[in-house]
Amino acid sequence: MVDENTHARPPRLPRRMVLPLLAAAGCAVVGGEWITSRQQARIVRRDDALLDGEPHDITLSWAFAQASILYNIALRQDFFQQYHLDVQLRPGVLSGRDAIADLQAGRSMAAVAPVLSWLQACQASPDLPVRLVMGLQAGTFRLLVRKRLRIAKIEDLAGRRIAVLNADMADRLFFSVILRRKGLNPDTAPDWVILPPDQIDDAVMAGTVDAVALHDPLAWQLMGNPALELVELVNSINGLYAQRTNLALGVSTDLLEQAPGAAVALVLALYNAARWLPPHVTEAATLLDGRIAGMPQAAILQMMHHEVLGISPVGNELKVQIARYVDELKLLGQFPDSLDSASYARRISADILHHGMTAAP
């Protein structure tokens, strides 16, 4: 006799019954894990027309790629190799703008830069020979303020001095949008102070700046330095921007026309690397050990636990996110209000995987 107070474990359905049920529900399995979103389900559909199976050499411009989580995963977990790619990094790329300039000048076939930087470049050069094909990771923008100043809200930044690395970097653009949303003129309300990274510590200690607008890993390192007494006022890790891509991969129109299989392989390698990351954070931290100055493996792992990982929009999802960025740059007067943001996003992007996507071999 079974005690009525005993919760009997429900019987397990045989795998041969479970698989059809999940498949009927629109699920797919990749690497032993069930995938439920429509976009990810498309990844498992194999379309040999997308990949030519040939080896490809690709020159890629990506600022500080050697310290990038996603690049190291793609390289050291053999995602590039699985797609028969030999990816060569352009040397001397110090910013997203440098990466875009490389592609524009024909020095690279593909480039990685913040979406905000891509949009400014496309606005300045309407014939820029590039199409944005995927997002790579969520933003890690952090606005840090000196604790003793008791700055409690964005509006308190009026009249304050905010350190940034470059006037045109995505860090400043991102927080300029935040300031505008709060009714402040981002060009005149705060005083933006341009400083090289090795001078920010001294400026904070001396009180010559009141706040710092940066992204990880530098922002994380500054926040973790107790001598600086910096606290986080706002970031892109939580809330509205948490699931928004920051970086985007742009590929040259020549590559798309002459070797589309190479472009598809690059997107799939990075996409699969991004999908591998969230359940393998500890392993990813080991791949970055010694690659970020001043950050041992434990510190890298702690930083990653406070970031949004695995963001990699493609296709329509990417276009929607680009359109949202266009709307935000309208707030800064960088695009006309009359511009159709959705149409513009479609024009500068490309869904090169529109026939379906192929999982890692």
Summarised one tens digit per residue, pLDDT across range 109-163 is 999 999 999 999 999 999 999 999 999 999 999 999 999 999 999 999 999 999 9
Contact 211, 160 (CB under 8 A): yes
Within 10 angstroms of residue 128's Cβ, the number of other Cβ atoms is 18
Answer yes or no: same fold for 43-137+242-346 and 140-233. Answer: yes
Q: For the residues 294-304, what does the mean pLDDT come to?
A: 94
Report the amino acid identity of residue 83.
Answer: Y
Token pair recorded at residue 60: 């890629």
Q: Are 295 and 321 in contact (CB under 8 A)?
A: no
Q: What are the Cα distances from residue 83, in Å, to 224, 273, 349, 354?
A: 39, 12, 23, 18
- Burial of 153 by CB count in 10 Å (0-12 exposed, 13-18 middle, 19+ buried)? exposed
Sequence letter at residue 147: K
How much is the mean pLDDT over the chain? 86
Taking residues 59-88, what's their average pLDDT?
A: 95
Residue 160, CA atoms < 13 Å, CB-side half-sphere: 26
3-class secondary-structure state, position 361: coil
187-213 pLDDT, tens per residue? 999 999 999 999 999 999 999 999 999
Residue 24 in this model has a pLDDT that exceeds 50: no
Tell me the pTM: 0.84
252-298 confidence digits (pLDDT tens) = 999 999 999 999 999 999 999 999 999 999 999 999 998 898 899 99
Between CA 261 and CA 266 the distance in angstroms is 9
The answer to whether 349 and 131 are in contact (CB under 8 A) is: yes
Over pLDDT 70: what percentage of the chain? Answer: 84
pLDDT, position 25: 33
Domain boundaries, the chain: 43-137+242-346, 140-233
Query: Once rounded to an integer, what is the mean pLDDT over residues 92-96?
Result: 92
**Can you give the pLDDT at residue 38?**
40
Distances in whole angstroms, Cα of residue 218 to Cα of each of 127, 197, 212: 34, 8, 11
pLDDT of residue 41: 37
* Amino acid in position 42: R
What is the arithmetic mean of pLDDT over 10-25?
33
Cα–Cα distance between 45 and 29 in angstroms, integer? 11
pLDDT band at 300 (very low <50, low <70, confident <90, very high): very high
CATH topology (fold) of 140-233? D-Maltodextrin-Binding Protein; domain 2 (3.40.190)
The answer to whether the beta carbons of residues 356 and 45 sit under 8 Å apart is yes
Pairing of strands 56-62, 110-114: parallel
- For tokens 């479970």, the residue is 18
Q: Which helix (H) or strand (E) holds 270?
A: helix 260-276
What's the pLDDT at 33? 35
3-state secondary structure of 276: helix
Find all residues with CB under 8 Å of 27, minimum gap 6, and list them.
Answer: 34, 35, 36, 41
- Residue 52 binned pLDDT confidence (cut-offs 50, 70, 90): confident
pLDDT above 60 for 40: no
Higher pLDDT, 355 or 308: 308
Specify the DSSP element, H or E, that contains 4: none
CA dihedral 313, 316, 321, 327 (to 10 degrees): 170
Is the predicted pLDDT of residue 360 greater than 90, yes or no?
A: no
Structure token digits, residue 17: 């019954």
| Residue 325 near residue 119, CB atoms below 8 Å | yes
On the question of pLDDT at 96 being above 60, the answer is yes
The residue ranking higher by pLDDT, 223 or 41, is 223
**Residue 168: predicted pLDDT:** 81
Pairing assessment for the beta strands 245-252 and 110-114 based on DSSP bridges: antiparallel
Nearest CA to 261 out of 85, 46, 47, 52 is that of: 52
Q: Is the pLDDT of residue 31 over 60?
A: no
What is the rounded average pLDDT of the residues 342-357?
85
Task: Choose which CATH entry (3.10.580.10, 3.40.190.10, 3.50.50.60, 3.40.50.720) describes domain 43-137+242-346.
Answer: 3.40.190.10
CA-CA distances (angstroms) from residue 335 to 172, 248, 325? 17, 19, 10
Confidence grade of residue 51 (pLDDT, cut at 50, 70, 90): confident
Q: Which of 39-43, 102-106, 288-292, 315-319 has the lowest mean pLDDT?
A: 39-43
End-to-end CA distance of the chain: 52
> At 1, is the pLDDT very low, low, confident or very high (cuts 50, 70, 90)?
very low
Q: Structure tokens of 155?
A: 């509006």
Band of pLDDT at residue 240, cut at 50, 70 and 90:
confident
Cα 106 to chain center, whole Å? 24
